[in-house]
Amino acid sequence: MTSFVETVHDGRVSTMTINRPDKLNALSPEVLSDLKAAIEETARRDEVRAAVITGTGKAFVAGADIAAMRDMDEAEARGFGALGHDVFNTLEQLRFPVIAAVNGFALGGGCELALACDFIYASTKAKFGQPEVNLGIIPGFGGTQRLPRRVGPGLARELIYSGKVIDANEALRIGLVNALFEPDQLLARAQKTAADIATKGPLAVAAAKRLIRDGVDIPLTQANKRERDAFGELFDSADQAEGMTAFLEKRAPDFKGA
C-alpha cells in the first residue's frame, strides 16, 4: 500500500512530504496515520538532527478531509480530533526541530500542522487560515491553542472567528511565518536552515526546544529554574567540552550528541 507521506533522509536532515495532490493533501485519517508513522520512523534515526515538512503540488495541506468528516457522528468526530492531536503532539515533542515549508494552501488542519512545527517558512504564494467556522465547526487539531501562542490572542480570535484566509505577506507581518521565499527556492532554503541547525550541539538544541515549548505554560520563575538546571546539566556532556574546545582552537566542532 502506498503511503501518503514520502520521507527522504539526507544525512542529519529528513524531509517529510505529504503526497495527496489530487485532494490538495487533505488530512484524512489515513493521511494522519501515515504522517505519524513517518514522524515515528524519523524519530528512531539517531543521526537525524532536524527535519522539514512540506506538501506536493499547490498545497501544503488544504485542510482536513471534509468528505471524510461530513457524516461523522459525535463519537467519530472526537476520535478524528484525538488522532489529529496525537499526531501533532508527537511532532511537537520530537527532540529535534522541524521546519514547516508551506508551499501553498495551509488551511484548517494544514495551518494547524504548520503551527505544530517549530517555525514556518512559506512560499510567496502561500495562504493561511482557520476557516472551520464556515463549516459550522472549530479547529480540532490544536488551532485554538497554538495559534494564540504564535500570533497573540487578539489576532488569533480575529482569524478563527472570521474564518478569513490571509496571504503570505500578512502571515509574515503578524509573525505566523518566519520568512518568505519564491516557490522554487522554498524547500531548498528550509533544508539549508535545517542543515545549519544540524551542525549545532544536538543536546543543546534539544534542551532549548524543550524549554521554549514547555516554558510558555508555566510561571516565569519556574521556567527560569528549568533553564538554569538544563544549562548546568549540559556542562556534564562531551558536546560542551568539544564545543568550547573547538571555539578556543578556532575550528569547527564535531558534536556527537553525548
- Domains of the chain, by residue range, sit at 5-197, 202-248
In contact, 24 and 57? CB cutoff 8 Å: yes
CATH superfamily, with its number, for domain 5-197:
2-enoyl-CoA Hydratase; Chain A, domain 1 (3.90.226.10)
The answer to whether 112 is a known catalytic residue is yes
What does the pLDDT read at residue 134? Answer: 96
- Pick the catalytic residue from 132, 182, 227, 249: 132
Is 40 annotated as catalytic? no
Answer CATH for 202-248 from 3.40.47.10, 3.30.2310.20, 1.10.1740.10, 1.10.12.10: 1.10.12.10
Enter the C-alpha cell of residue 196: 545549519
* Catalytic residue of the set 40, 92, 112, 233: 112
Burial 114-143 (b: 16+ CB within 10 A, else e): bbbbbbbbbbebbbbbbbbeeeeeebbbbb
Return per-residue pLDDT of the chain as tens, 258 residues: 579 999 999 999 999 999 999 999 999 999 999 999 999 999 999 999 999 999 999 999 998 888 889 999 999 999 999 999 999 999 999 999 999 999 999 999 999 999 999 999 999 999 999 999 999 999 999 999 999 999 999 999 999 999 999 999 999 999 999 999 999 999 999 999 999 999 999 999 999 999 999 999 999 999 999 999 999 999 999 999 999 999 999 999 999 999
The packing angle between helices 109-116 and 143-151, to 10°, is 60
Q: Residues near 17 by Cβ (< 8 Å), separated by ≥ 6? A: 5, 6, 7, 8, 53, 54, 55, 56
C-alpha atoms less than 13 angstroms from C-alpha of 134 in its C-beta half-sphere: 12
pTM (2 d.p.): 0.95
